[in-house]
A and B are shown apart, each in its own frame.
Chain A
Amino acid sequence: MKKLAIYTVILAFCGSAFYAVSAAEQAAAPAEPAKQEAAKEPPVCFESRKGASEVTQREIKPGWPNVKCSPTTGAALWYGDPYEGTVPMGKMPGLEKIPEGHALIKPRSEKLALMPMCGTACHNGVGPQFNPPKLPKDKRPTPIPTMGAMVPDLANFQHGRGRIWCLDCHHTTKRNMLVDHFGDPVSFDQPQLLCGKCHGDKLRDWRDGIHGKRIGEFVSSGKKRWFTCTECHNPHNVQDGERNRGFVQLQPEPSPQLPKGMKDAKHEKLHPIPH
C-alpha cells in the first residue's frame, strides 16, 4: 500500500511537471497578439520549427541586434550573432578536420522539458522497489503506460511505423541519455550519433553540410553553428504523420507586393493553356 502511494505521488509529480512545461511551450507559440500588446517586451523568435529552439532579441551594439524576428510569423529572420547560446559540438566522427571550437551546437537538453527530471525524479534508481526489478531484459516492445501518458506523440507513435520502439533510441537505464548501437549512452545534444545509426546517408550528407543547416562562416574550416537533427525534426514523428514530409507545416511570410496596376493575384490561379 505504501509502495503504491509513493508510486502514485511520483507519477503525479512527473505528470504535473510535464504539464506545466508543455503549457509554457504552448503559451510561447500563439503569443503574437500578446506580443503586440506588450510592445516593450523583447521579441522571442523561433528558429527552425516552432517549439524546438528560440532566441530572444537583444541589441549587441547600437543598430545591431543579435537576431531579427518576423513581425508576421515570429520566425527568426536574420542573425546578427549566429553563435549565441552555443557550445562546442563535442566529438563527432568524420569532423576531426574542423579546428577546435569551430563546430558549435545549441544544446538540446536545455530545451527538453522532461530531461532534467528523467534521471532525478523517476529513473533515479531509488523509485519504487520493483519486485523483481522490471527493467526490460531484451528489446522487445512492452507498453510503458507512464510514459505514454506523458508524451502525446507516443499515443500514435509514428517513427519506424511499428518496427522500432522507445529503447531503440533511449538508454535503458540512463533515461536522460540516448543510446548507440553498442548500448553506450549518447547525449541529447548529439542526436546525430543516434540518428546516424539508421540514416547513414543522411548523416553523411549532414556531416558534409549538404543535409541540414549550418550558420556562421561558410568556408570549410570556418566557425559554424550546426543545427542538430532534432532542431528541425520531431524524432517521435519525423514525417509529420500522414503528411509524409520531414518538416512540419509553418505559416509563410507575407507575399510580395502587387505591382502597380494589379488589383489582386487571382489570375495566377488560372491556367493559361487550355487542354
Chain B
Amino acid sequence: MNSNETPPADPAKELSAECPAPPASADPAASALKTSRRDFLKAGGMLSLSSLMGTGALMAQSEDAHAAAEWAEHFQKNYRLMTPEEKNEARLRLERRHSQEYGKQVTVDITDAQPGMLMGYALNIRKCIGCRRCVHACVAENNQSRGSKPGEKIEWIQVLRMERGEFAKDKMNHGYPEGLGIQVGGNAYTPAGQVLEGQYHYQPEAVPEKDATYMPIACMQCEKPPCVKVCPVRTTYREADGPVVIDYNWCIGCRMCMGACPYWARRINLTSPVLPKEEMNPVTHYLGNRPRMRGVVEKCHWCLQRTRHNRYPACVEVCPVGARKFGNLLDPESEVSKILERKNVFRLKAELNTFPKFFYFYD
C-alpha cells in the first residue's frame, strides 16, 4: 500500500528527534571533562575524584569506547541522583559503547515519565491460548540473553498451563481422608488449575488444548512493590508513570528483590548476556532494554523505550487473540480504564497487598 510513506511512529526516529544531543557535548570526552570540572568544584570527595578518574580513562583511550565506558560506569551515581547533564553524559557513553559493540547505531533514551500518565495492563485470562508469542516478542524487543547453555537464556514472561481437571464417577471412592473408612465417596475431584502449580514446559502440536487453560505471568508493576522495599541500595524503584525499573549500573546483584517478588518476575544475569549483533534491538531506554551486564537483576518494565513514546509494549502487539491490553489508568477513555469499568477483574495474589497495576479479567 503506502509503503513509501514513512511510518510516523517509527520509535527510532522519534527517539532521535526527541532527545537531540546538544552539539556542544556531542563528543563524550569533552562533555565528560566539563562535568568533571564542575563536579570537582561543587562536591569534592570521592564522587568527583572518581568521575575525574573516569574522565581520564575516557580521554586516554577514546579509541576504545567499551573500556572507557566500563571504567567510567564503575564510578557513576545512582541514576535517580544524576543531574540532567550527568544523565546525558551516561547516555552518550552508552550509545558510543553499544554502537561500537553491536555494529549499528544504538540509541539510549533517557525520556522521563510524562505527567498525567499512569500505565496499566490488563490480560483477558479467558482468551489466552498459550501460544507464547508474547514471551518471544519480549525477548526480541528487550535484548535479553539468549544463549543455549543452561542459565544463558532469559525470558520475562512465563506462561503457565493449568489442567482443567474433572470430576469422574470412577474416582468417587478415592480420596481424603483415606484409609480409616471414616468417609468415602463425594470426592471425585482431580486437581486442576486452581493452584499456581501447572506446567511451564508444555509443548503440544497445537494450542489451545482442550483440557487446559493458560495463565501468563510477568512483572505486575505493583504499587507497593516488595522488591523495591528490600533493595539495599535503592537501585530498583517505581517510576512516576508506573513501571518498577532497575538502574542496572547500580545493582549489586544481591538478589533480595528476587526473593521478595511474589510473582517470580525477576531474573539474574548469571553470566554476560549472550546477545547476537544481528538480533540486538538498537532502540533502547536507560531504564529499559539497554544491554545488561553480568551479575545484575533484570525484569519487565513494560517496554519503557516504547511506552514512553506512546507505543504499545511488544507483547501486546503480537498477542494473536488480543488478550493483552495496555493503557493509561488516568485516562477514562483508555482500554484499561474501560476494562476496569466494565469487566470482572482480579489481581494475582491480591492477599499480599502488593496492589499490582496488572489486572486479569474475563468476559
Q: Which residues of A contact B (CB under 8 A)?
A: 47-49, 60-64, 68, 70, 75-87, 97, 107, 205, 208-220, 222-223, 227, 232, 243, 245, 247, 249-261, 265, 268-269, 271-273, 275
Within 8 A of A (CB), among B177-235: 187, 189-191, 197-208, 210
**A75 to chain B: closest residue by CB:** B133
Q: Is residue B22 contacting chain A, with contact meaning CB distance below 8 A? A: no
Q: Is residue B310 contacting chain A, with contact meaning CB distance below 8 A? A: yes
Question: Bound complex: CA of A77 vs CA of B10, how far in Å?
Answer: 17
The reply to whether B311 and A216 contact each other, CB–CB distance below 8 Å, is yes
The reply to whether A70 and B9 contact each other, CB–CB distance below 8 Å, is no
Q: List 5 contacting pairs A-B, 8 Å CB cutoff, sorted by A.
A: A70-B133, A82-B317, A212-B322, A275-B174, A275-B191
**B331 to chain A: closest residue by CB:** A220
Question: Bound complex: CA of A220 vs CA of B317, how far in Å?
Answer: 15
Question: Bound complex: CA of A220 vs CA of B280, how far in Å?
Answer: 30
For the complex of A and B, the 5 pairs showing the least CB-CB separation, nearest first, are A213-B322, A209-B335, A265-B201, A249-B206, A63-B104
Within 8 A of A (CB), among B71-116: 102, 104-105
The reply to whether B331 and A219 contact each other, CB–CB distance below 8 Å, is yes
Q: Is residue B23 contacting chain A, with contact meaning CB distance below 8 A? A: no
The reply to whether A275 and B190 contact each other, CB–CB distance below 8 Å, is yes
The reply to whether A216 and B327 contact each other, CB–CB distance below 8 Å, is no
For B312, list chain A residues within 8 Å (CB): 82, 214-218
For B191, list chain A residues within 8 Å (CB): 271, 273, 275
B252 to chain A, nearest CB (A): 22
Q: Is residue B137 contacting chain A, with contact meaning CB distance below 8 A? A: yes
For B326, list chain A residues within 8 Å (CB): 218
Q: Is residue B158 contacting chain A, with contact meaning CB distance below 8 A? A: yes
Q: Is residue B245 contacting chain A, with contact meaning CB distance below 8 A? A: no
If A75-B133, A257-B153, A275-B191 touch, does A210 touch B1 (CB 8 Å cutoff)? no
Partner of A257, one of B132, B150, B207, B322: B150
The reply to whether B135 and A256 contact each other, CB–CB distance below 8 Å, is yes
For A256, list chain B residues within 8 Å (CB): 135, 153, 155, 158, 200-201
B284 to chain A, nearest CB (A): 12
Partner of B9, one of A49, A216, A249: A216
B68 to chain A, nearest CB (A): 23
Residue of B153, B282, B312 most packed against chain A (CB within 10 A): B312
A62 to chain B, nearest CB (A): 6
Question: Bound complex: CA of A227 vs CA of B316, how far in Å?
Answer: 13
If A250-B129, A255-B200, A260-B150 touch, does A210 touch B325 (CB 8 Å cutoff)? yes
**B135 to chain A: closest residue by CB:** A253
For A247, list chain B residues within 8 Å (CB): 127, 129, 208, 320-321
If A208-B338, A211-B322, A259-B150 touch, does A275 touch B175 (CB 8 Å cutoff)? yes
For B199, list chain A residues within 8 Å (CB): 265, 268-269
The reply to whether B310 and A81 contact each other, CB–CB distance below 8 Å, is no
**A201 to chain B: closest residue by CB:** B363
Question: Bound complex: CA of A80 vs CA of B12, how far in Å?
Answer: 9
Question: Bound complex: CA of A265 vs CA of B163, how far in Å?
Answer: 16
The reply to whether B314 and A78 contact each other, CB–CB distance below 8 Å, is yes
Partner of B198, one of A213, A218, A251, A268: A268
A82 to chain B, nearest CB (A): 6
Question: Bound complex: CA of A232 vs CA of B129, how far in Å?
Answer: 13
The reply to whether B12 and A64 contact each other, CB–CB distance below 8 Å, is yes
**B148 to chain A: closest residue by CB:** A257
If A70-B133, A218-B312 touch, does A252 touch B105 (CB 8 Å cutoff)? no
B108 to chain A, nearest CB (A): 14
Contact with A along B302-345 (1 / 0, CB 8 A): 00000100111010111111100111100101110011001100
Partner of A77, one of B133, B153, B158: B133
Q: Is residue B263 contacting chain A, with contact meaning CB distance below 8 A? A: no
Contact with A along B1-19 (1 / 0, CB 8 A): 1110001111010000000
The reply to whether A232 and B321 contact each other, CB–CB distance below 8 Å, is yes
**A250 to chain B: closest residue by CB:** B131
